A and B are shown apart, each in its own frame.
Chain A
Amino acid sequence: MKKIIDALPLVVFASLIIVLFSFLSDKDDQLETALIDSSFPDFNLGSLSDESRLLTKRDIIKLPALINVWATWCIACRVEHPFLMKLKEESRLTIYGLNYKDNKFKALELLERDGNPFEFSIYDFEGRLAIDLGVYGAPETFFIDKNGLIRERHVGVIDERVWEEKFSKYLNE
């Protein structure tokens, strides 16, 4: 009995170490989103290419779709840009852009130069739709299923691996 009790601190300490280590290697560092399985929020914003054209939720009609939050000041967005171009070419998915707190001319220039993967980009200079989406920063990507529900959210660069692991399953539903 005494031996067991003597060993107790060591056992407790060891299990603490194991538990804390398991948190360290936990790759799922994604922030929670409160919007999973809820419908896309209403908005009323201009289009990036033509601010006089007002866009609303009803303009997001080609489903399933990705909503990609991007900006020219966001370096990681440039990293994922080629992948978005590739997705546009190779999948039946529509990609809509949410241009977030950006300089309109720089944004249009970038799309002109590097290609435009987006059906259209919503111009959210004040970050209003972004708040309704619970956006933390750019890049962020949301998957909208064929019923218009938000099914997945990814914070950070989207690439082949993220696509396979998090998003592709919703496309095959």
Chain B
Amino acid sequence: MKECGKKNFLNILMNKPILFLLFIIFSLQVSVEEGQVNFDNDAYPFTSEIKESLFYSLLNELRCPKCQSSNLAGSNSPISNDLKREVYELVVEGKSSKQIKDHLVDRYGNFIIYNPPIEPATYALWFGPFILILLSALVIILVRKRII
């Protein structure tokens, strides 16, 4: 019975592209929210909520150097715990988001931030996808017009 329900659900999803799209979008939403909870508040006490939210947003934006596909929030390796402590101390000192990111980029390079600046070395990263979309669109248009 359960099996059958699963199959039906998948069938409906497959037959209705809009539903499928919504399903994907909402799944993404859930995983993003999951990334932001699960903090142990006692480990990093704050006196102000603004600083606390700055701290947690930085943990989500900064990358763990050891486990390169994870952010600091999602990693428990010794180096990320050291970096969390570093970020914590800088936030408590009253440093701004930009100052803290610069502080870490000065030591670890752009690698440490998940949102790299737009500069010649990252042009391909930022603009590559759009160029690919334009190229594909061009190909589709050409094929449709039967120019090719």
Q: Which residues of A pack against B, CB within 8 Å?
A: 2, 5-6, 31-35, 101, 126-128, 130-137
Contacts and interface: CB of A to CB of B under 8 A. Distances in A.
Given A131-B82, A131-B107, 13 more contacts: A2-B148, A32-B109, A32-B111, A34-B106, A126-B82, A126-B85, A127-B78, A131-B86, A132-B107, A134-B107, A134-B109, A137-B66, A137-B79
B108 interface: yes
A127 B66 CA distance: 14
Contact of B109 (A5, A33, A127): A33
A101 B111 CA distance: 23
B65 A136 contact: yes
Nearest to A133: B107
Given A5-B148, A6-B148, A34 B82 contact: no
A136 B106 contact: no
Interface in B93-148: 105-111, 148
A35 B79 contact: no
A88 to B, nearest CB: 28
A128 B106 CA distance: 15
Contact of A34 (B78, B85, B105, B148): B105
B13 interface: no
Nearest to A41: B107
A134 B148 CA distance: 53
Contact of B108 (A5, A101, A128, A134): A134
A167 to B, nearest CB: 20
Nearest to B121: A32
A133 B86 CA distance: 13
Nearest to A127: B82
A161 B86 CA distance: 36
A131 B62 CA distance: 14
B71 to A, nearest CB: 16
A3 B111 CA distance: 44
Nearest to B147: A5
Contacts of B106: 34
Contacts of B66: 136-137
